[in-house]
């Protein structure tokens, strides 16, 4: 189903490992994708807490598909900034369709380089390499690397997806100007691949602090897009939270 593909886009869009020197300000960004008279609304938030930087992403469908049951997902990440390193501390996700529900969560132990958690009711304990991220923390990493002018032409990242690791190649495809609901914006396109014929791209706008304003999934000749529709900047301190002790 097309909506399953669109939800997968938001779950598995990886981005590049980076060593940021700057802090991304808090935001609430809304995206939409449209298909067959339905709209998938995605809300991505970032805020700074004493424990670290917290990012969330939640989605729901507006349209006739709602009569078939519940569609949607949510995910969240907590990570800390320690010097020039971003360290993932917690990650979670849940996905709902009329036929299945799936949940996963993990805590990262960087003294032992382990990720421990569960997928539905099944526990797991696995080794993770230094610099491993999840989707949301890697999104933050890409924004900061672009902001610092430190994104090489091709990069790789290890991404924790539920109870497994996947290695992705990220490519800086250069500048493009897009017309969006927030106006005409200069962007930098970053494309992700992992050796398959599937490609996921993000367009990051310098004028908006390198926030992605479009996400695109290409597979088997089909193209699906999420476009930004609204952006809020909540007031909060801009100093980076320190690492947990």
> Tens digit of pLDDT for each residue in 223-232?
778 899 999 9
Domains of the chain: total: 1
The per-residue pLDDT for 229 is: 96
Long-range contacts from 68-75, C-beta under 8 angstroms, 24+ separation: 68/98, 69/97, 69/98, 70/96, 70/97, 70/98, 71/3, 71/7, 71/96, 71/97, 71/98, 72/7, 72/96, 73/7, 73/10, 73/11, 75/11, 75/135, 75/136
Identify the weakest region by mean pLDDT among 77-81, 83-87, 141-145, 202-206: 83-87
pLDDT tens-digit map of 150-189: 887 777 889 998 899 988 888 889 999 999 999 999 999 9
User: Do the domain assignments include residue 118?
Assistant: yes
Q: Which residues span the domain enclosing 69?
A: 2-232
Q: Is the pLDDT of residue 129 over 80?
A: yes
CATH number at residue 107: 2.50.20
User: Do the domain assignments include residue 237?
Assistant: no
User: Do the domain assignments include residue 23?
Assistant: yes
User: Do the domain assignments include residue 243?
Assistant: no
Share of the chain above pLDDT 70, in %: 80
User: Do the domain assignments include residue 137?
Assistant: yes
- C-alpha 131/C-alpha 18 separation (Å) is 8
Q: Are 157 and 133 in contact (CB under 8 A)?
A: yes
Does the pTM surpass 0.85? The reply is no
- The alpha-carbon radius of gyration of the chain (Å, integer) is 17
Q: What is the mean pLDDT of residues 92-104?
A: 84
User: Do the domain assignments include residue 245?
Assistant: no
User: Do the domain assignments include residue 27?
Assistant: yes
User: Do the domain assignments include residue 143?
Assistant: yes
Number of Cβ within a 10 Å radius of residue 34: 15
């Amino acid at each position: 189903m097309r909506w399953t593909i669109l939800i997968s886009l938001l779950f598995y869009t990886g981005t590049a490992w980076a060593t940021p020197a700057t802090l991304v300000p808090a935001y609430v960004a809304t995206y939409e994708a449209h298909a067959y008279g339905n709209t998938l609304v995605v809300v991505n938030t970032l805020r700074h807490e004493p424990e670290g930087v917290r990012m969330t992403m939640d989605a729901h469908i507006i349209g006739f598909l709602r009569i078939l049951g519940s569609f949607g997902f949510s995910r969240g990440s907590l990570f800390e900034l320690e010097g020039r390193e971003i360290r993932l501390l917690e990650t979670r996700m849940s996905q709902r369709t009329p036929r299945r529900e799936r949940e996963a969560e993990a805590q990262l132990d960087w003294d032992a380089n382990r990720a421990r958690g569960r997928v539905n009711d099944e526990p797991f304990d696995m080794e993770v390499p230094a610099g491993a991220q999840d989707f949301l923390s890697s999104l933050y990493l890409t924004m900061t690397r672009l902001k610092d002018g430190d994104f090489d032409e091709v990069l790789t990242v290890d991404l924790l997806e539920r109870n497994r690791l996947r290695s992705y190649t990220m490519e800086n495809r250069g500048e493009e100007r897009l017309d969006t609901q927030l106006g005409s914006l200069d962007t930098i396109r970053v494309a992700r691949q992992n050796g398959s014929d599937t490609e996921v791209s993000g367009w990051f706008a310098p004028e908006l602090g390198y926030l992605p304003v479009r996400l695109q999934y290409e597979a088997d000749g089909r193209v699906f897009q999420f476009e930004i529709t609204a952006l809020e900047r909540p007031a909060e301190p801009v100093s980076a939270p320190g690492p947990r002790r």
